[in-house]
Amino acid sequence: MSPLIGITTRPVDAEDRYALSAEYVQAVRRAGGIAVLIPPGDSSPQDVYARLDGLILSGGGDIDPALYGGAAHAEIYGVSADRDIQEIELARIAAAGSKPCMPICRGIQVLNVALGGTLMEHLPDEVGQGVVHRDPDKKVGMSHPVTISPNSLLRTIVGESCSVMSWHHQALRNLGDRLVVTARAEDGIIEAVELRDHPWFLALQWHPEMSAATDPVQQKLFDAFVAACRVWAVANKA
């Protein structure tokens, strides 16, 4: 059985197109899943979620800081009310359910806000330049190591540490309910969280899809996620 993996997309752009990097779809397909794209604006996220075997909340623009009590900042970009509303609701539904979920970059931030957490509005204002989490020209991902906590789902998949591709200027500040930190960068920034008392819920601040085609460690994340979705589908679908 090939599980159905929902992947959220960016909002409509200036050319009237919904957008998503093909790397997400390719990584899911290599793992044996069927990718189903979810554009913003659907009126019933619950109905969408009910048809899936797993969910990826993808990267993209920033969340409206008003949704987490944050402050406006000149570097905040790509805010979409439709996307914020839909993805926050999907995150809450997924956290209350049992299907595997793997939020990525913006996705980990959406999850944190959905569960009552807050964000750092702009990392360079708070942690300096010890680790470069985003290319200043916003053109390429930046590589840096992360250290992974013992006794975590992430540790069982990729080991004690790994090199990741990063492209973000915001990060988690105060954790949302039930979230447990399972990886950090060298500057202390949270790079992964897991959801307490959930069978398979792993959220990543970095972009595993950006290097999964050439880095087996990053592809392992998609392989493990899709395998968990397959197990869920077999157990829960007639």
Annotation says 207 is catalytic: yes
Helix (H) or strand (E) holding 45: helix 45-50
Annotation says 87 is catalytic: no
What one-character DSSP code corresponds to residue 209? G
Annotation says 105 is catalytic: yes
Cβ proximity of 4 and 34 under 8 Å: yes
pLDDT tens by residue, 161-171: 999 999 999 99
Domain 4-236 fold is Rossmann fold (3.40.50)
Ramachandran angles phi, psi of 195, nearest 5°:
-100, 115
Catalytic residue among 89, 101, 105, 144: 105
- What are the residue ranges in the chain where pLDDT is below 70? 128-130, 138-139, 238
pLDDT tens by residue, 46-97: 999 999 999 999 999 999 999 999 999 999 999 999 999 999 999 999 999 9
**Which pTM does this prediction carry?**
0.96
Q: Which amino acid is at 19?
A: A
**6/127 Cα distance (integer angstroms):** 34
What is the structure's pLDDT at 140? 75
Domain ranges in the chain? 4-236
What is the structure's pLDDT at 106? 98
What is the structure's pLDDT at 161? 97
